[in-house]
Amino acid sequence: MKPLLEVNNIKKYFSFQRGILRKKTFYLKAVDDISFNLERKKTLGVVGESGCGKTTLGKTLVNLHKPESGSINLNLDDGTSIDVINANDDEMKTVRRTIQMVFQDPHSSLNPRWPIKNIIGEPIDILKMASGRREKESMVMKLLNDVGLKPEHMNRYPHEFSGGQRQRIGMARALAPKPDIIVLDEPTSAVDVSVQAQVLNLLKELQKSKSMSYLFISHDLGVVHHMSNEIAVMYLGQVVEYGDTDKIINDPLHPYTKALLSALPVPDPEFEAHKKRIILKGQLPDAINPPKGCRFHTRCAELVGEKCKHDCPALKEVSKGHKVACWIYEE
Ligand SMILES: Nc1ncnc2c1ncn2[C@@H]1O[C@H](COP(=O)(O)OP(=O)(O)OP(=O)(O)O)[C@@H](O)[C@H]1O
Ligand SMILES: [Mg+2]
């Protein structure tokens, strides 16, 4: 069976006019040639620093951004496939139902003037899923229950909820069309550390009970580790390492992945005290003017030579299901 979602070589560039007369156009390559597959009922974690293109990638998958090039294919259980980027109106309805996104900032993504029943009910209206008001309300109540909220929450407004509860409301709205895929963009970033685990456990339970696939976006490799079957490590718009979670965590290959891992706290205090921490040199470079060659070379602790500064290494498979883009692993 084909993977549920096949993403091939997608690029999303933003253009800017700069200079005194604003005559010169610059391109910010927010997503620059990214490919991956998302399997049924599995989670692909996407991790990387702020600004590396995680949200842009997620929005491209749900068609909020039209990519410059590349393809996104949705392979449905009935054997049909949809070319998401060139979908016609009918196909687009299926795409909207099948792929949902929970947005990064639950404060701005929930309409403050709407009661929760309207927010969660919106996709039910758009997709004409209920035959009348009563059926819609019972669907909303069921969704609230699914995410651990109460029926009486239906008539309240977003500002009456905590960060964790708002995240649950966003999730209820995403669940309404019964999607097969949810893009979760930093689902715990607006949540108190003390309730992070609850939100993550809820997401895992929902994934299992509703047989969904997740694209799980986070800057926190620890959280991604906990949630994902596979991990893609992003740096300045590109994937620099990709593989099974176990491989990425226990046998990281890219110097950037190694640095991210070394910053993770370890539960054993003895080990933590003696652990070698790799400090990333310098700041994340300007995305409009990224370094030539390997984009990571300006901060790399393991430079292998001049080619790192001049040529960009391709993402290559080094063992089954484990890919890395680094000159260290090229013959
Ligand atoms: N609509 C837009 N117009 C122009 N530039 C954009 C737009 N959206 C994102 N960018 C730029 O694209 C790059 C990637 O942004 P994106 O929001 O995808 O990163 P991110 O990895 O999600 O970061 P964060 O962890 O802070 O959420 C950034 O340099 C950002 O400034
Ligand atoms: Mg983001």
Distance 52 CA to ligand 2 centre (A): 8
Q: How many domains does the chain have?
A: 1
pTM higher than the cut 0.85: yes
User: Ligand 1, residues 11, 13, 27, 56: which to mutate, most atoms within 8 A of Cβ?
Assistant: 56
Q: Closest residue (by CA) to atom 24 of ligand 1?
A: 50
SS (H, E, C) 210-275: CCCEEEEEECCHHHHHHHCCEEEEEECCEEEEEEEHHHHHHCCCCHHHHHHHHCCCCCCHHHHHHC
User: Residue 100 is which amino acid?
Assistant: Q
Query: Is the CB of residue 50 below 6 angstroms from any atom belonging to ligand 1?
Result: yes
Ligand 1 centroid to Cα of residue 51, in Å, is 5
11 within 8 A of 72, measured Cβ to Cβ: no
Per-position pLDDT tens, the chain of length 331? 899 999 999 999 999 887 777 778 889 999 999 999 999 999 999 999 999 999 999 999 999 999 999 999 999 999 999 999 999 999 999 999 999 999 988 777 889 999 999 999 999 999 899 999 999 999 999 999 999 999 999 999 999 998 889 999 999 999 999 999 999 999 998 788 888 999 999 999 999 999 999 999 999 999 999 999 999 999 999 999 999 999 999 999 999 999 999 988 776 666 666 667 777 888 889 888 899 999 999 999 998 889 999 999 999 999 999 999 999 998 6
Instruction: Tell me which residues have their CB within 5 A of the ion that is ligand 2.
Output: 54-55, 104
CA-closest residue to ligand 1 atom 16: 53
CATH of the domain at 248: 3.40.50.300
**Ligand 1 near 13 CB (within 6 A):** no
What residue numbers bound the domain in which 24 lies?
Answer: 5-329
